[in-house]
């Protein structure tokens, strides 16, 4: 359990969206969180998959969007082969971004999906680490 807590703290280290993962922006009680690591992810060429799902109002959505956008500045390059991005009216609806990380030999990704509901937004944030390329992830996690 201590290993999971340590991994949870360090996995998104240095990312602005870590504020959301840690429950500093939204109450953790209102989030559905999953942290998967190890052999169960081997078929996907991943070592870590950390996701949170939650509902947000317009103000919260804008804050999450801004944090994710700041992290996009740390992407591996402006080359579109290292990211997918879809926005409408100045807000992100879908993104998967490969981050630079000189300290690790693994690839790091952040993902964002926002579904517009009539009175709120359903948001999913994910952090992934492993040997998977963006092409591998495109095959595994198809946008719905």
pLDDT in tens, 62-74: 999 999 999 988 7
Strand duo 83-88 + 91-99: pairing? antiparallel
Name the average pLDDT for the chain.
Answer: 85
CA distance 96 to 85: 7
pLDDT tens-digit series, residues 2-14: 444 444 445 677 8
CA–centroid distance for 13 within its chain: 12
pLDDT confidence of residue 142: 65
| 118 compared with 75, residue with greater pLDDT | 118
- Helix or strand or coil: residue 109? strand
The Cα 89–Cα 48 span in angstroms is 32
């Amino acid at each position: 359990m201590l290993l999971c807590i340590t991994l949870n703290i360090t996995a998104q280290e240095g990312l602005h969206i870590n504020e959301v993962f840690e429950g500093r922006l939204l109450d953790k009680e209102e989030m559905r969180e999953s942290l998967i690591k190890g052999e169960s992810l081997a078929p996907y060429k991943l070592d870590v998959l950390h996701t949170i799902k939650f509902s947000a109002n317009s103000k919260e959505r804008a804050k999450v969007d801004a944090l994710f956008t700041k992290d996009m500045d740390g992407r591996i390059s402006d080359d579109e082969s290292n990211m997918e991005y879809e926005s409408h009216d100045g807000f992100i609806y879908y993104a998967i971004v490969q981050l630079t990380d000189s300290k690790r030999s693994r690839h790091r990704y952040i993902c964002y999906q926002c579904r517009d509901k009539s009175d709120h937004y359903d948001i999913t944030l994910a952090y992934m680490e492993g040997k998977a390329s963006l092409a591998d992830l495109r095959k595994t996690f198809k946008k719905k």
